[in-house]
């Protein structure tokens, strides 16, 4: 039997919003997620926190316990919040749903001492493009001299006039962040002055270390989510499930499995499903739906327990035959009482929508998921670099063959985002004079390429 599930306990009209945490490296994304999860575990009754694959569900009653007076459960129709476990905008771009980002809302973490950094800007760019509503967590306020969390904290003095009494360096840092957001075209303010969080970005001072401000952050998230989900989401929580592949993984005893975030409907242990594959859509039948077992229960058999059904939003591992060609970032759809052909068609259409436009001449692009491939293509189109071939997967010898046929030496190049270079491909590239760049940050990858072009041009002069 499965644990009581936060997502199925209390059927409401709105599904759990999916929340992503973005921001520059070391600004505190992981710490903030840990703090929220940790507080939830401390506040939670045993079993209230559902174990998920790739995401943590925090039910409404736990949020309200953490947030105290700031969140009255009676004010909300949402079952809670589902936090994507892997922070960073890589996972954000990877995780797509129909035509947009998988996450419904985002938290952008900015270190108050460090301010805006390249990945902050990159994250903002992604949020802007995907039209994802977000709030800013101005993190590490505990490190600001003069900050006294116990007295007159503007954070605790929510929504009242007192709250304007932020003083000294913190004040300055917060206004710098607000100014930077406005430079990027966002209208932002300290959260207690914001009326409509969809129109204005709220800046919430927090400490992922002490937990201060976390109740406020959750309260603002809930307010924003409720409004957004009501306005934007037409969801049939009982219908055939729709989700996205997070990761394709070998799992002992189960073969190839897909970690999936379900963002709509339900998936059952006997469902027929259609999944985006490297070549054609994969049509297969669910063999098992797997959730991680609570740590205490892990014995010799399996880290997972089987469940019969989950409903959106949830992270779940799907075991099924024929998953070897499944692509991270690709759609997953339950067929159930629909025509198989129609569902296959939808998966094809969704894949075609993500597909990258290629030209006769250009560079070769490889990425680990469909979403990141698309993000790469967007970034390259901004610098007007054409793509001749784009594909999910590690850099392989045939990619080198394609790159070696470029007429322009500046395009005898492979750009790999979050992928490895197979050793055959490495050897081949040396022989064929193809340059391979790999990186885990898009703008760095492009910078490396631009330096290479500069050098080539200097050499030609």
Tell me the binding residues for GTP: 23-30, 85-89, 139-142
Given candidates 31, 56, 173, 225, which one binds ligand GDP under the rule CB under 6 A?
A: 31
Given candidates 5, 17, 29, 446, which one binds ligand GDP under the rule CB under 6 A?
A: 29
By CB under 6 A, tell whether 140 contacts ligand GDP: yes
Given candidates 15, 19, 23, 310, which one binds ligand GDP under the rule CB under 6 A?
A: 23
Report in angstroms how near the CB of residue 109 gets to ligand GDP at its nearest. Answer: 6
Report in angstroms how near the CB of residue 40 gets to ligand GDP at its nearest. Answer: 17
Report in angstroms how near the CB of residue 370 gets to ligand GDP at its nearest. Answer: 24
Footprint of ligand GDP on residues 59-118 (CB under 6 A)? 87
Which residues in 252-357 belong to E strands, given as ranges?
255-264, 266-268, 272-275, 282-285, 288-292, 304-307, 309-311, 314-319, 331-334
The residues, any chain, with a CB within 8 Å of residue 152's CB and separated by 6 or more, are: 162, 165
Q: Is the Cα torsion angle 362, 366, 367, 371 positive or negative in sign?
A: positive
How far apart are alpha carbons 58 and 49 in whole angstroms? 6
Given candidates 5, 16, 28, 144, which one binds ligand GDP under the rule CB under 6 A?
A: 28
Closer to ligand GDP by Cβ: residue 85 or 346: 85
Closer to ligand GDP by Cβ: residue 80 or 205: 205
Supply the DSSP symbol for 252: T
By CB under 6 A, tell whether 215 contacts ligand GDP: no
Element containing residue 33 per DSSP (H, E):
helix 29-43
Radius of gyration of the chain from its Cα atoms, rounded to whole angstroms = 23
How far apart are alpha carbons 251 and 317 in whole angstroms? 10
Closer to ligand GDP by Cβ: residue 207 or 369: 207
Closer to ligand GDP by Cβ: residue 149 or 294: 149
How far apart are alpha carbons 186 and 199 in whole angstroms? 9
By CB under 6 A, tell whether 27 contacts ligand GDP: yes
Given candidates 2, 117, 143, 256, which one binds ligand GDP under the rule CB under 6 A?
A: 143
Task: Tally the C-alpha atoms within 13 A of residue 298's C-alpha that lie toward its C-beta.
Answer: 8
Q: What angle do CA 380, 439, 316 make, to 5 degrees?
A: 95
By CB under 6 A, tell whether 153 contacts ligand GDP: no
Residue 151 CB coordination number (10 Å): 7
By CB under 6 A, tell whether 50 contacts ligand GDP: no
Which residue, 53, 232, 4, is CA-closest to 132? 232
Closer to ligand GDP by Cβ: residue 139 or 418: 139
Q: Using CB under 6 A, list all residues that contact ligand GDP.
A: 23, 25-31, 87, 139-140, 142-143, 207-209
């Amino acid at each position: 039997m499965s644990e009581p599930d936060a997502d199925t306990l209390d059927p409401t009209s709105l599904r759990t919003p999916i929340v992503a945490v973005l921001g520059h490296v070391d600004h505190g994304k992981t710490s903030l997620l840990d703090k929220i999860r940790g507080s939830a575990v401390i506040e939670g009754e045993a079993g209230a926190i559902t174990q998920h694959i790739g995401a943590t569900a925090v039910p409404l009653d736990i949020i309200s316990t953490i947030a105290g007076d700031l969140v009255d459960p009676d004010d909300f129709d949402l079952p809670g919040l589902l936090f994507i476990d892997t922070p960073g905008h890589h996972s954000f771009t990877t995780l797509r749903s129909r035509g947009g980002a998988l996450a419904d809302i985002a938290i952008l973490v900015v270190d108050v001492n460090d301010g805006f950094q390249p990945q902050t800007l990159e994250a903002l760019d992604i949020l802007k493009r995907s039209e994802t509503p977000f709030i800013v967590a101005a993190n590490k306020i505990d490190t600001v001299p003069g900050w006294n969390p116990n007295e007159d904290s503007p954070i605790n003095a929510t929504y009242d006039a007192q709250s304007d009494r932020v003083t000294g360096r913190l004040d300055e840092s917060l206004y710098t962040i607000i100014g930077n957001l406005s430079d990027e075209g966002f209208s932002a303010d300290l959260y207690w002055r914001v009326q409509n969080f969809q129109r204005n970005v709220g800046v919430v001072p927090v400490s992922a270390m002490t937990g201060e401000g976390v109740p406020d952050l959750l309260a603002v998230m809930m307010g924003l989510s409720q409004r957004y989900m009501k306005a934007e989401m037409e969801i049939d929580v009982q219908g055939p499930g729709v989700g996205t592949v997070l990761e394709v993984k070998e799992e002992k005893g189960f073969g190839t499995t897909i970690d999936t975030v379900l963002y709509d409907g339900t998936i059952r242990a006997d469902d027929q499903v259609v999944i985006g594959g490297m070549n054609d859509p994969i049509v297969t039948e669910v063999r098992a739906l797997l959730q991680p077992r609570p740590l205490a229960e892990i014995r010799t058999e399996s880290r997972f327990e089987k469940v019969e059904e989950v409903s959106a939003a949830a992270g779940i591992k799907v075991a099924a035959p024929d998953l070897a060609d499944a692509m991270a970032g690709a759609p997953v759809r339950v067929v159930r009482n629909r025509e198989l052909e129609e569902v296959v068609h939808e998966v094809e259409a969704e894949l075609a929508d993500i597909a990258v436009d290629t030209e006769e001449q250009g560079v070769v692009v490889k990425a680990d998921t469909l979403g990141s491939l698309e993000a790469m293509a967007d970034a390259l189109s901004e610098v007007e670099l054409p793509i001749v071939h784009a594909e999910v997967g590690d850099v392989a010898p045939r990619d080198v063959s394609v790159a070696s046929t470029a007429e322009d030496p500046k395009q005898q190049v492979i750009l790999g985002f979050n992928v490895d270079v197979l050793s055959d491909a490495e050897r081949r590239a040396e022989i064929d004079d193809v340059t391979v760049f790999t990186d885990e940050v898009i703008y760095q990858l492009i910078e490396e390429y631009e330096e290479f072009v500069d050098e080539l041009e200097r050499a030609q002069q």
